[in-house]
Amino acid sequence: MTALFAATPTAELLAPMDWFLAILSIVLIDIVLAGDNAVVIALAVRTLPPKQRLLGIALGSGVAVTLRVALTFVAAQLLAINYIKLVGGLLILWIAVKLLVDNTGDQAHGKEAKGLWQAVWLILVADITMSIDNVLAVAGASKGSFGLLIFGLGLSIPLVVFTSNLLAKLMDRYPVIIYVGAAILGKVGGDMIMGDRLIEERFHPEPWLVHSVESLLAIGVIVVALGWRRKRRPPNR
């Protein structure tokens, strides 16, 4: 990753059209990649009191993007480590199950709305886990310009804040979106697991197998969460 910025001075020599195309690419990447992070944030803050929800979104998004800047300089090295994406994928699956359990069922008899800092902590852990590929994508589109990189990471804040706030409101109105969001996170976890360097080099999984694992984990997250919720339900229910 540091190699991407070793030639930073040459970034100033980019033609206006190259700058425009780089900015356009970064904007499109941010729009596409904002979805997964917005799902995590929306699920994490949904059970917060209304006044704390927006604060949780802003804090989680702001600190997470700050950490992405720091991750930029080690992202390439992290991707070269065996098991890093495998462990990250498993962590995302656990977060997906936990958020689904916390966001469904009878809140009066289950867990009350989680605290603000617990929600921010979950947002940070999930965002850092999912950010390595995202950072590489934005860094690649930045063409060696640190300024363009900061622009791309900064742009992701309002996009994620707006999208996650909208998703949280939609989840209040249409609870089925909670299950869809958890399934999306299950798919993301599967993609990270199957994309781990060790698995790719040792097993060379075919695309159909990768998609199958992603689909199974998307469904598995919901099944495990429903079983967990049923198990912890009070005996008299």
pLDDT tens across 44-67, in order? 888 888 778 888 888 887 777 777
Crossing angle of helices 116-141 and 146-173, rounded to 10°: 140
More confident residue, 109 or 174: 174
Pick the residue with more confidence: 141 or 224?
224
Examine the pLDDT at 225 and tell me if it is beyond 60: yes
pLDDT band at 29 (very low <50, low <70, confident <90, very high): confident
> In angstroms, what CA-CA distances link 232 with 171, 191, 225, 227?
23, 30, 11, 9
Residues 6+ apart with CB under 8 A from 134: 29, 33, 37, 68
Mean pLDDT of the chain: 79
Are the C-beta atoms of residues 155 and 60 closer than 8 Å to each other? no
Q: What are the tens digits of pLDDT across the range 181-203?
A: 999 999 999 998 998 888 888 88
Tens digit of pLDDT for each residue in 84-143? 888 888 999 999 998 998 888 654 333 434 678 888 888 888 877 877 767 777 777 777
DSSP class of residue 144 equals T
Contact 69, 153 (CB under 8 A): yes
Query: Is residue 2 scored above 70 in pLDDT?
Result: no
Q: 152, 125 in Cβ contact below 8 A?
A: no
Span of 75-79, 140-144, 210-214 with lowest mean pLDDT:
75-79
pLDDT given for residue 105 in this prediction: 64
Q: Please check whether residue 86 is in contact with residue 185, taking contact to mean a CB–CB distance below 8 angstroms.
A: no
